[in-house]
Amino acid sequence: MGEQLKAIYNEDFLRQFSEKVHTVYRAFDKKGFMGNVMDHTWDELALKARMGRIAEMLGKYLPARYEKALEILVSIDEECIGFPYLFFPEFVAMYGQAEEHWGLSMTALKRFTVRSSAEFAVRMFLLREPERMMCQMEEWAKHPNEHVRRLASEGCRPRLPWGQGLPMFTNGTPLRCSVCLNC
């Protein structure tokens, strides 16, 4: 059997990522971050659980203010491209749900999906505020970038492989946007 996909998150990958963070945020405790990510349970964690662990630990090792932490991730995202960096949007889903972070989180998801994918992370926002998020998805569906448009379509699929289900889309009742005038 071939190597499992979760193996992309290995010590070498995390060391390289930690170096990227450290170049823009000197207070980043690379050793502490790696030790807490790759704790005694690491080997048993599945792919998505590993993504979640990395995002969770970023929340502990980046600045406590969401805006500052996100600024650090944005400053290195051009070097963090592809599937392995799905934990960037996961960080947004974990730490960017507060009302005061809405605009910043939407901007970050749109930005990160271009370099990786935010299809899984956007689902947490959909579950929390489906009407408001669908207004955002409608806006993204008209975006000139194909990756942003894909976020709009794939992010709200009722059943997305590896993604959390969206039961509000399977009961037959259409969502009506009561938040904006664009829908």
Taking the domains of the chain in order of start, what are their residue ranges? Answer: 1-100, 119-183
Cβ neighbours, 10 Å, residue 27: 8
Residue 46 half-sphere exposure toward CB, CA atoms < 13 A: 2
**Do 77 and 111 contact (CB within 8 A), yes or no?**
yes
pLDDT 10s per residue in the chain (183 long)?
A: 346 889 999 999 999 999 999 999 999 999 999 999 999 999 999 999 999 999 999 999 999 999 999 999 999 999 999 999 999 999 999 999 999 999 999 999 999 999 988 888 888 888 888 889 888 989 999 999 999 998 887 776 555 556 565 556 566 555 554 444 444
Q: d(Cα 118, Cα 111) in Å, to the nearest integer? A: 9
Say which residues have a Cβ less than 8 Å from residue 87's Cβ, sequence separation at least 6. 51, 52, 54, 55, 58
pLDDT at 43: 94
* pTM for this predicted structure: 0.86
